[in-house]
Amino acid sequence: MYKLTDRNIIINTVTGDSFPMDERNPDYVRYLTWANAGNDALPAKDLNELKAEKTAEIEAARDAEVVKNVTALNTEWQADKVSQTLLSSTITLASAGLPLPPVWRDFFNNDVAITSLNDLLAIAGAMAIQTQAAYSKSWAKKAAINAATTVEEVAAIGWDSP
């Protein structure tokens, strides 16, 4: 039995010996004979390792999606963590009776007049919708990863795949 690695090295799982994928190497020639007889080498990573890596990949894509710019009030707004925190704090303070800021700066660095708390809530709402959509998508992707039973099934799952 053999195991592939990520570095073009093959490991003989019986002896523990490793060798490069080089047709001049007799161990590699024996491996090719074994593989040509219909045998399959173990993948470089087992299914659980691949699932863990794919889950981390999906979570990173989700986190990037959450902080993409959003559109509200006919303009584009930054939705990075700092912007989300500032907006949330401003809404909390305005809800407690402190005055609204006269303007809020959009992604294009334009001052947009804030006429009511609803203006800030519209921006926050767009961020919340984007966040919920990203998390919902990640939950579905991670459920597919957990349900996968083969390396090929895991490999086929991606943020942008159906």
Instruction: Give pLDDT tens digits for 115-144.
Output: 999 999 999 999 999 999 999 999 999 999
Spell out the SS3 assignment of the chain: CEEECCCCEEEECCCCCEEECCCCCHHHHHHHHHHHCCCCCECCCCHHHHHHHHHHHHHHHHHHHHCCCEEECCEEECCCHHHHHHHHHHHHHHHCCCCCCCEEECCCCCEEECCCHHHHHHHHHHHHHHHHHHHHHHHHHHHHHHHCCCHHHHHCCCCCCC
pLDDT tens-place string over residues 76-94:
999 999 999 999 999 999 9
Question: In this structure, are strands 103-105 and 9-12 parallel, antiparallel, or unpaired?
Answer: unpaired
Domain ranges of the chain: 2-36, 47-155
Question: In this structure, are strands 75-77 and 2-4 parallel, antiparallel, or unpaired?
Answer: unpaired
Among 34, 29, 25, 62, which residue's Cα sits nearest to residue 139? 62
Please state the pTM of the whole predicted model: 0.75
pLDDT tens-place string over residues 1-31:
888 887 789 998 889 899 999 999 999 999 9
